[in-house]
Structure 1
Amino acid sequence: MLHAFLAAAIPNPGPEAPPGLGDLTNTILAWIKWGCLVSGVAGLMICGGMMILGRRNRNQLAIEGVSSTVWVFGGLALVATAAGLVSVVV
Protein backbone atom coordinates (compact mmCIF):
# COMPACT_ATOMS: atom_id res chain seq x y z
CA MET A 1 0.00 0.00 0.00
CA LEU A 2 2.77 2.41 0.92
CA HIS A 3 4.72 1.45 -2.21
CA ALA A 4 1.78 2.33 -4.44
CA PHE A 5 1.34 5.67 -2.69
CA LEU A 6 5.03 6.56 -2.98
CA ALA A 7 5.17 5.45 -6.61
CA ALA A 8 2.22 7.67 -7.45
CA ALA A 9 3.60 10.63 -5.47
CA ILE A 10 7.12 10.68 -6.98
CA PRO A 11 7.29 11.93 -10.57
CA ASN A 12 9.29 9.84 -13.02
CA PRO A 13 9.79 11.77 -16.26
CA GLY A 14 11.32 10.14 -19.32
CA PRO A 15 14.86 10.98 -20.42
CA GLU A 16 15.20 14.10 -22.53
CA ALA A 17 18.34 15.57 -24.06
CA PRO A 18 19.22 19.18 -23.20
CA PRO A 19 18.40 21.62 -25.99
CA GLY A 20 21.00 21.47 -28.75
CA LEU A 21 22.75 18.32 -27.52
CA GLY A 22 20.50 15.63 -29.03
CA ASP A 23 22.09 15.62 -32.49
CA LEU A 24 25.64 15.84 -31.12
CA THR A 25 25.02 12.98 -28.71
CA ASN A 26 23.51 10.80 -31.45
CA THR A 27 26.50 11.50 -33.69
CA ILE A 28 29.01 10.58 -30.98
CA LEU A 29 27.13 7.40 -30.07
CA ALA A 30 26.93 6.44 -33.77
CA TRP A 31 30.70 6.89 -34.11
CA ILE A 32 31.34 4.77 -31.02
CA LYS A 33 29.01 2.03 -32.28
CA TRP A 34 30.69 2.09 -35.70
CA GLY A 35 34.10 1.81 -34.03
CA CYS A 36 32.94 -1.15 -31.95
CA LEU A 37 31.56 -2.92 -35.02
CA VAL A 38 34.82 -2.36 -36.93
CA SER A 39 36.73 -3.66 -33.90
CA GLY A 40 34.47 -6.72 -33.82
CA VAL A 41 35.16 -7.51 -37.48
CA ALA A 42 38.89 -7.03 -36.90
CA GLY A 43 38.70 -9.24 -33.79
CA LEU A 44 37.01 -12.06 -35.70
CA MET A 45 39.62 -11.79 -38.45
CA ILE A 46 42.41 -11.96 -35.88
CA CYS A 47 40.79 -15.01 -34.26
CA GLY A 48 40.51 -16.66 -37.68
CA GLY A 49 44.17 -15.90 -38.37
CA MET A 50 45.17 -17.44 -35.07
CA MET A 51 43.24 -20.59 -35.96
CA ILE A 52 44.88 -20.72 -39.39
CA LEU A 53 48.40 -20.18 -38.07
CA GLY A 54 47.96 -22.57 -35.17
CA ARG A 55 46.82 -25.48 -37.27
CA ARG A 56 50.01 -27.54 -37.11
CA ASN A 57 52.53 -27.81 -34.29
CA ARG A 58 51.13 -24.67 -32.67
CA ASN A 59 47.78 -25.99 -31.53
CA GLN A 60 47.73 -23.72 -28.45
CA LEU A 61 47.49 -20.69 -30.77
CA ALA A 62 44.52 -22.27 -32.57
CA ILE A 63 42.82 -23.06 -29.26
CA GLU A 64 43.25 -19.44 -28.13
CA GLY A 65 41.79 -18.25 -31.44
CA VAL A 66 38.71 -20.41 -30.99
CA SER A 67 38.20 -19.40 -27.37
CA SER A 68 38.67 -15.72 -28.23
CA THR A 69 35.73 -15.76 -30.64
CA VAL A 70 33.43 -16.20 -27.64
CA TRP A 71 34.70 -12.91 -26.20
CA VAL A 72 34.34 -11.13 -29.54
CA PHE A 73 30.75 -12.32 -29.97
CA GLY A 74 30.01 -11.40 -26.36
CA GLY A 75 31.32 -7.88 -26.92
CA LEU A 76 29.34 -7.49 -30.14
CA ALA A 77 26.19 -8.71 -28.41
CA LEU A 78 26.73 -6.19 -25.62
CA VAL A 79 27.24 -3.35 -28.11
CA ALA A 80 24.14 -4.36 -30.07
CA THR A 81 21.92 -4.50 -26.98
CA ALA A 82 23.45 -1.62 -25.00
CA ALA A 83 20.61 0.85 -25.55
CA GLY A 84 17.96 -1.72 -24.68
CA LEU A 85 19.79 -2.87 -21.56
CA VAL A 86 20.25 0.67 -20.30
CA SER A 87 16.60 1.54 -20.94
CA VAL A 88 15.50 -1.53 -18.95
CA VAL A 89 17.72 -0.62 -16.00
CA VAL A 90 16.89 3.09 -16.00
Structure 2
Amino acid sequence: MLIHTVLDMAQAVPVPNPEPIAPPGLEKPINTILGWGKWGVIVSGVAGLLICGAQMAIGRKNRSSFAADGASGIPWVLGGLSLAATASGIVGMFLG
Protein backbone atom coordinates (compact mmCIF):
# COMPACT_ATOMS: atom_id res chain seq x y z
CA MET A 1 0.00 0.00 0.00
CA LEU A 2 2.78 2.41 0.92
CA ILE A 3 4.63 1.54 -2.28
CA HIS A 4 1.59 2.41 -4.40
CA THR A 5 1.24 5.75 -2.63
CA VAL A 6 4.91 6.60 -3.22
CA LEU A 7 4.67 5.60 -6.88
CA ASP A 8 1.54 7.72 -7.35
CA MET A 9 3.29 10.70 -5.79
CA ALA A 10 6.37 10.19 -7.98
CA GLN A 11 4.24 10.14 -11.12
CA ALA A 12 2.45 13.34 -10.10
CA VAL A 13 5.71 15.33 -9.89
CA PRO A 14 6.53 16.83 -13.30
CA VAL A 15 10.00 15.94 -14.55
CA PRO A 16 11.77 18.87 -16.21
CA ASN A 17 12.92 18.20 -19.77
CA PRO A 18 15.01 21.18 -20.87
CA GLU A 19 16.03 21.72 -24.47
CA PRO A 20 19.67 20.89 -25.21
CA ILE A 21 21.82 24.01 -25.18
CA ALA A 22 25.44 24.10 -26.26
CA PRO A 23 27.90 25.37 -23.65
CA PRO A 24 28.98 28.96 -24.36
CA GLY A 25 31.72 29.09 -26.95
CA LEU A 26 31.48 25.42 -27.97
CA GLU A 27 28.68 25.55 -30.54
CA LYS A 28 30.87 26.56 -33.49
CA PRO A 29 33.74 24.09 -32.84
CA ILE A 30 31.34 21.19 -32.26
CA ASN A 31 29.43 22.02 -35.47
CA THR A 32 32.78 22.02 -37.29
CA ILE A 33 33.68 18.59 -35.89
CA LEU A 34 30.24 17.18 -36.77
CA GLY A 35 30.59 18.63 -40.26
CA TRP A 36 33.95 16.91 -40.68
CA GLY A 37 32.40 13.65 -39.53
CA LYS A 38 29.54 14.00 -42.01
CA TRP A 39 31.99 14.78 -44.80
CA GLY A 40 34.06 11.72 -43.86
CA VAL A 41 30.99 9.47 -43.95
CA ILE A 42 30.01 10.80 -47.39
CA VAL A 43 33.51 10.25 -48.77
CA SER A 44 33.66 6.76 -47.24
CA GLY A 45 30.23 5.88 -48.64
CA VAL A 46 31.13 6.97 -52.16
CA ALA A 47 34.47 5.14 -51.96
CA GLY A 48 32.75 2.02 -50.63
CA LEU A 49 30.22 1.95 -53.45
CA LEU A 50 32.97 2.56 -56.04
CA ILE A 51 35.02 -0.30 -54.59
CA CYS A 52 32.00 -2.63 -54.63
CA GLY A 53 31.31 -1.68 -58.25
CA ALA A 54 34.95 -2.24 -59.20
CA GLN A 55 34.93 -5.67 -57.57
CA MET A 56 31.80 -6.61 -59.47
CA ALA A 57 33.25 -5.36 -62.77
CA ILE A 58 36.61 -7.09 -62.27
CA GLY A 59 35.00 -10.33 -61.11
CA ARG A 60 32.63 -10.56 -64.05
CA LYS A 61 34.87 -12.96 -66.02
CA ASN A 62 36.19 -16.12 -64.31
CA ARG A 63 36.26 -14.55 -60.81
CA SER A 64 32.69 -14.94 -59.69
CA SER A 65 33.59 -15.02 -55.98
CA PHE A 66 35.28 -11.61 -56.31
CA ALA A 67 32.12 -10.22 -57.93
CA ALA A 68 29.98 -11.80 -55.22
CA ASP A 69 32.13 -10.15 -52.55
CA GLY A 70 31.54 -6.80 -54.23
CA ALA A 71 27.80 -7.38 -54.41
CA SER A 72 27.61 -8.51 -50.79
CA GLY A 73 29.39 -5.32 -49.69
CA ILE A 74 26.69 -3.03 -51.09
CA PRO A 75 24.16 -3.63 -48.28
CA TRP A 76 26.86 -2.95 -45.70
CA VAL A 77 27.77 0.37 -47.32
CA LEU A 78 24.12 1.38 -47.66
CA GLY A 79 23.46 0.31 -44.05
CA GLY A 80 26.32 2.47 -42.80
CA LEU A 81 25.13 5.45 -44.83
CA SER A 82 21.56 4.96 -43.59
CA LEU A 83 22.73 4.81 -39.98
CA ALA A 84 24.77 7.98 -40.42
CA ALA A 85 21.84 9.75 -42.08
CA THR A 86 19.46 8.89 -39.25
CA ALA A 87 21.94 9.27 -36.37
CA SER A 88 20.55 12.55 -35.05
CA GLY A 89 16.99 11.22 -35.15
CA ILE A 90 17.99 8.03 -33.33
CA VAL A 91 19.84 9.94 -30.62
CA GLY A 92 16.96 12.43 -30.33
CA MET A 93 14.51 9.56 -29.87
CA PHE A 94 16.41 8.26 -26.84
CA LEU A 95 17.15 11.66 -25.29
CA GLY A 96 13.99 13.48 -26.36
TM superposition score normalised by structure 1: 0.91
Identity of aligned residues (%): 52
Q: Which segments of 5 or more consecutive residues in structure 2 lack a partner in the other structure?
A: 1-6
Q: Give the superposition deviation at 1:69.
A: 0.3
1:51 partnered with 2:56: yes
Note the aligned Cα RMSD (angstroms): 1.3
Equivalenced residue count is 88
Q: String of CA shifts for 1:27-51, please: whole Å, max 9, x gaps.
A: 1101100011000000000000000
Q: Which has the larger radius of gyration?
A: 2
Q: What CA distance in whole angstroms lies between the structure 2 residues aligned with 1:12 and 1:71?
A: 36
TM superposition score normalised by structure 2: 0.85
Q: Which segments of 5 or more consecutive residues in structure 1 lack a partner in the other structure?
A: none
1:23 partnered with 2:28: yes
1:5 to 4, 12, 17: 12
Q: In structure 2, what residue type is equivalent to 1:69?
A: I
The runs of 4+ residues in structure 1 deviating greater than 3 Å are none
Which residue is equivalent to 1:83?
88
